[in-house]
Copies of this chain bind each other. A is one copy, B any other.
Amino acid sequence: MTNKNHELLSRYKIQMEEMFRLECISSLLDWDHQVNLPVKGTQARGEQLELMSRLTHQRQTSKELQAIIKDLYEGLDELEHDDRINIQESKLQMDKSLKLPEDFIARRSRARSAAYAAWVEARKADDFSIAKEQLRANISIAREEAELLGYEETPYDALLDNFEPGSRLSIIKQPLFMLAEGIKQKLPAILAATEPAHPFGSTFDISKQRSLNEQISHDLGYDFRAGRMDIAPHPFMTTLGAHDKRITTRYDESDYLSSLLTAMHEVGHATYEQGLPPEHAGTPRGSAISLSIHESQSRLWENIVGRSRPFAEYLYNLLPDYFPEEAAKASPEHIWQRLNSVKPSLIRVEADEVTYSLHIVIRTILEEEIINHGLGVDDLPARWNELYKEYLDLEVPDDAHGILQDVHWYGVGLGYFPTYALGNLYSAIMMEKIRDSVQDLDQKIVRGEFQEILLWLRANVHQIGMSLRGPELAREISGNDLSEIPFLNYIAGKFDL
């Protein structure tokens, strides 16, 4: 490496480290907001977050950093692997951000705030018309953003790339569509094979739930010396430092399994973050690939492991120490049934593992139609309801159970939804390979020996940071392009179809 590159790289790293610190500080402000903040502290916390995000933005868009990245990118071939990954990815991010003028960013931010506020109102009143104009404005902003960012194939790709770098509709559409068809085809048999399970237990002391979740999280490989588990109304995982990846969960005294699955979901996100190479923290080489790969980790642990028969047996064996009365009445089979109730429903966040992806496919179809084919908000509810009839055979009774149920289009943007279903696909692709490489996997799960699963994920997913993009990772792991087949096979295997 030339001396000049050496000096540029060291300046690049100092800047990236400082931005990472600022982001971690913002994350702490947010974590504390959701976990601890006294009610009267809300306004000041908002002002503190606003200040931090201004300071971070100043650095992200500094001319100095831009010049460093540009200079290093010109000599990309001379850089070593890790540095090349960093500069390549930073250059892409910088180019994207330079395409969005400050005025546009401000307008987008205002449009989203307005749409979010309108959505809150509309949802309360169960009346889409209250938020319609704000959604129309948001969609118009999203179309403008796609044009500003540019695309090779279709405008929607530009938005998808915000959440799923390197992906395009042409890569994900076919697998998602085949996934939906496969699920629709299997659903009648699954519904016939599963019976509604009796409730599991009646009351679960919350401090006992916490202790049991801590033990299970520890068994799964979550490192409590580099994290914590707290309570928040909306569970999440957050990064407060290279060795500080915290999770939150929530508890319902009448439903232990729901708190367990929530914890396992967040543990999945957190073990990914704990497995990223800490020496690259704050740079792309030390960052997660994308939302869908993140979601693959949470769903692998929550669904593929957490809802499996051997896991139900592992859990059953732990119960007597925590809930002796409930344990005496339970059986592994009963727990498994409770974890695997399947029933088409109208609300995405309450959907079971099988029908969940149908909700996502519906939203992806709508997003494509909105951005690429001009579907307007006036026609949106009818189209929404039509698709729920087609895919889930359900009538949507009102806006709250339909078009108003999710915040994303109002407060986050379009292009996010597909990542949830892609997470399912990636998780099944990974688990197929884990099953190939770990001997006696099911017996190990029964005994609470999850280390080999985690080690496989560490080596094949976590350690690589952003060295690969999502679609490349699928090929690297499976030898094939992103595919729905592993997931459909997994579902078929689970329900003996």
Contact = CB atoms under 8 A, between A and B. Distances in A.
A22 interface: yes
A244 B37 contact: yes
Interface string A16-59: 01100110110011001000111111011101100110010000
A40 B224 CA distance: 9
Nearest to A24: B48
Contacts of A28: 28-29, 32
B51 A227 contact: no
Nearest to A52: B25
A244 B46 CA distance: 13
A241 B42 CA distance: 9
Q: Interface on chain A toward B: helix, strand, loop, or mixed SS?
A: helix
Contact of A243 (B40, B48, B225, B240): B40
Interface residues of A, number: 35
A118 interface: no
Contacts of A223: 40
A224 B43 CA distance: 16
B32 A47 contact: no
Contacts of A25: 25, 29, 48, 51-52
A226 interface: yes
B226 A38 contact: yes
A396 B24 CA distance: 48
Contacts of A22: 51
B241 A44 contact: yes
A340 to B, nearest CB: 34
A242 interface: yes
Interface string A192-210: 0000000000000000000
Nearest to A242: B44
A341 B411 CA distance: 61
A228 interface: yes
A40 B22 CA distance: 19
A224 B38 contact: yes
Interface string A462-484: 00000000000000000000000
Contacts of A24: 44, 48
Interface of A: 17-18, 21-22, 24-25, 28-29, 32, 36-41, 43-45, 47-48, 51-52, 55, 223-228, 240-244, 246
24 contacts: A18-B51, A21-B47, A22-B51, A24-B44, A25-B48, A25-B51, A28-B28, A32-B32, A37-B244, A38-B224, A38-B225, A38-B226, A38-B228, A38-B244, A38-B246, A39-B226, A40-B244, A41-B244, A43-B243, A44-B241, A44-B242, A44-B244, A45-B241, A45-B244
Which 5 residue pairs spanning A and B have beta carbons closest together? A44-B241, A41-B244, A40-B243, A40-B226, A39-B225
Given A22-B51, A37-B244, 20 more contacts: A25-B52, A28-B29, A32-B32, A38-B227, A38-B243, A38-B246, A39-B225, A39-B226, A40-B225, A40-B226, A40-B244, A41-B226, A41-B240, A41-B241, A41-B244, A43-B243, A44-B243, A45-B241, A45-B244, A55-B55
